[in-house]
């Protein structure tokens, strides 16, 4: 039984000072339901990704909260937490519920309200995705963690800050035409290098912004789509998830993300595709180095050659393997609990031919979402096809 994507939606990413967690998620959910031609009463199960709500909002039990506010009290509801991969994990849970026959209609998504918190508070909250005993207590933050990974990669493969900056330049350019993106402005290598230093070698424009936002997708069984005439055109082809050591000190190699490698291998196998079959990718570029590590982990480049992607235009919208046509986390933004399904929204729009940076007839797309510094990773493969 294949799982179909019946409707998708994201709120604009950025600052939403007049909204709340429950309101933002409801906005995305209602738009996704309208896109699917379904109502809240059709939802049988609801999975919502949310990472730091119990810290920033002083609110746990987020699944029941959003189901209540949405008007879907009949649905089985659950909050899913896997750091920045929370929404992708929520989507996998929805897929598994349908594949198992437990449900025919699942609403999956994610939400995060981050901007109302002070920079110190949100930095501390995000640090919960690292190892508190061995990393946080030693003073590491996530920019510092990814800076260590960047330094290792640069030393091992003779890469430069200019190589990192090329990723930001590409993704900022893609974000300009995306009405949902938080940063809708171009940049250049010089501007990235001259932006304020955060954690050497990462500067401000190497880092994704603090973001509020929500995303949602309506998943249905192929039988349900057929019986209700939904006319779905995109389906889940395969999904993979894996883990790694929480702390960097326990990794064999800081210049690769093994959880992503394993998750990709599983997703490719289940979808019966390989890297060469992928037409468009939305991946986890929380920092510029993260995109370089990701394109290698996903098999698009050999180890040590990932910098070629942005530098030589291979990952540009008109390149060999377009990556982050939405602008990615760097430009579109990163409301951590919502990002994974937001990536599915972007890929679905590409496959349906309605993306602001539309490619020529893509048929297979991939999403890649990393939790923390790579301790968890979800890879999903979507393709055209439907009931």
Which residue is catalytic, options 228, 284, 334, 368?
334
Which residue is catalytic, options 84, 208, 286, 377?
84
H helices of 42-160, where? 53-56, 62-70, 86-99, 119-126, 142-157
Active site residue 286: no
Q: Would you kindly state where each structural domain of the chain is located, as residue ranges?
A: 3-118+210-234, 126-207+236-384
Q: What is the distance between the alpha carbons of residues 113 and 103, in angstroms, rounded to a whole number?
A: 29
What pLDDT band is residue 386 in, cutting at 50, 70 and 90?
low
Residue 387 has pLDDT above 80, yes or no: no
> What topology does CATH give the domain 3-118+210-234?
Peroxisomal Thiolase; Chain A, domain 1 (3.40.47)
- 149-162 pLDDT per residue, tens: 999 999 999 999 99
- 242-279 pLDDT per residue, tens: 999 999 999 999 999 999 999 999 999 999 999 999 99
Architecture of domain 126-207+236-384: 3-Layer(aba) Sandwich (3.40)
Look up residue 78 and give its DSSP letter. E
> Structure tokens of 13?
């990413």
Residues whose CB falls within 8 Å of the CB of residue 29, separated by 6 or more in sequence, listed in order: 9, 40, 66, 70, 107, 109, 214, 216
Q: What is the distance between the alpha carbons of residues 383 and 37, in angstroms, rounded to a whole number?
A: 21
- What's the pLDDT score for residue 119? 87
- 320-337 pLDDT per residue, tens: 999 999 999 999 999 999
Over residues 107-136, the mean pLDDT reads 94
Q: Answer yes or no: same fold for 3-118+210-234 and 126-207+236-384.
A: yes
Q: Is 0.85 topped by the overall pTM? A: yes
């Amino acid at each position: 039984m294949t799982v179909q994507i019946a409707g998708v939606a994201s709120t604009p990413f950025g600052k939403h000072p007049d909204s709340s967690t429950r309101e933002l998620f409801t906005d995305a959910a209602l738009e996704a339901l309208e896109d699917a031609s379904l109502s809240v009463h059709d939802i049988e199960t609801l999975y919502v990704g949310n990472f730091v709500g119990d810290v920033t909002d002083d609110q746990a039990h987020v699944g029941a909260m959003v189901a209540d506010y949405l008007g879907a009290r009949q649905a089985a509801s659950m909050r899913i937490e896997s750091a920045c991969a929370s929404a992708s994990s929520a989507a996998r849970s929805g897929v598994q519920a349908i594949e198992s026959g437990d449900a025919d209609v699942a609403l999956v998504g994610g939400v995060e309200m981050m901007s109302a918190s002070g920079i110190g508070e949100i930095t501390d909250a995000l640090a919960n995705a690292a190892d508190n005993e061995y990393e946080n207590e030693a003073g590491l933050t996530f920019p510092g963690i990814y800076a260590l990974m960047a330094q290792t990669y640069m030393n091992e493969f003779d890469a430069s800050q200019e190589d990192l900056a090329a990723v930001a330049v590409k993704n900022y350019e893609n974000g300009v035409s995306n009405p949902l993106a938080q940063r809708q402005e171009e940049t250049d290598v010089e501007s990235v290098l001259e932006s304020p230093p955060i954690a050497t070698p990462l500067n401000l424009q190497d880092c994704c912004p603090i973001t509020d936002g929500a995303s949602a997708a309506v998943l249905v069984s192929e039988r349900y789509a057929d019986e209700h005439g939904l006319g779905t055109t995109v389906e889940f082809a395969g999904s993979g998830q894996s883990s790694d050591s929480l702390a960097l000190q326990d990794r064999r190699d800081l210049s690769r993300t093994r959880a992503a490698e394993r998750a990709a291998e599983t997703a490719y196998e289940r979808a019966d595709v390989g890297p060469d079959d992928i037409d468009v990718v939305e991946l986890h570029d929380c920092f510029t180095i993260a995109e370089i590590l990701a394109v290698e982990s996903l098999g698009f480049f050999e180890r040590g050659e990932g910098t070629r992607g942005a530098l030589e235009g291979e990952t540009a919208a008109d390149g060999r393997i377009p990556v982050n046509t939405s602008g990615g986390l760097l430009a579109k933004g990163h409301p951590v609990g919502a990002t994974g399904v937001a990536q599915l929204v972007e890929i679905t729009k590409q496959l349906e031919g309605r993306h602001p940076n539309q490619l020529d007839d893509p048929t297979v797309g991939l999403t890649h979402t990393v939790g923390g510094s790579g301790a968890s990773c979800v890879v999903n493969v979507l393709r055209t096809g439907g009931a």
